[in-house]
Amino acid sequence: MQRIGEELAIRWDDGSESFVPLEKLRRACPCAGCKGEVDIMGNLYKNPELPLIPTSFQLGNMVTVGTYAVQFFWGDGHNTGLYSFDYLRRVAAAK
């Protein structure tokens, strides 16, 4: 994985490649603050949506988490989303 301009380039284990716009990646953040979390009764709890600013889409750094996920560090300070490789592949494939 590496950032190329405004995209994240990913070469998967099967040899295929994906190019994901950074804005798409940031908007797909899977953290509880962004996507919310569901309680045992099925109620969704979510923080109020914060406006995303241009620095929200600037990728500062990324680190692997174990062998299952990537954590991105965005220019606006957000970094709580852990993108599992399966989730990342689904984001990359979504139109």
For the chain, the structural domain boundaries read 2-93
Question: What DSSP line would sit under the chain, residue for residue?
Answer: -EEETTEEEEE-TTS-EEEEEHHHHHHT--SHHHH-EE-TT--EE-PPPPPP-GGGG-EEEEEEETTTEEEEEETTS----EEEHHHHHHHHH--
pLDDT at 87: 98
pLDDT at 50: 80
With b for 16 or more beta-carbon neighbours within 10 A and e for fewer, the 37-64 pattern comes to eeeeeeeeeeeeeeeeeeebbebeebee
pLDDT at 48: 85
The string of pLDDT tens digits covering residues 19-41 is 999 999 999 999 998 999 999 99
pLDDT, greater one: 81 or 48? 81
Mean pLDDT on 6-14: 97
pLDDT at 18: 97
For the domain spanning 2-93, the CATH number is: 3.30.2020.30
pLDDT at 66: 96
Mean pLDDT on 8-26: 97
Q: 46 falls in which pLDDT band (50, 70, 90)?
A: confident
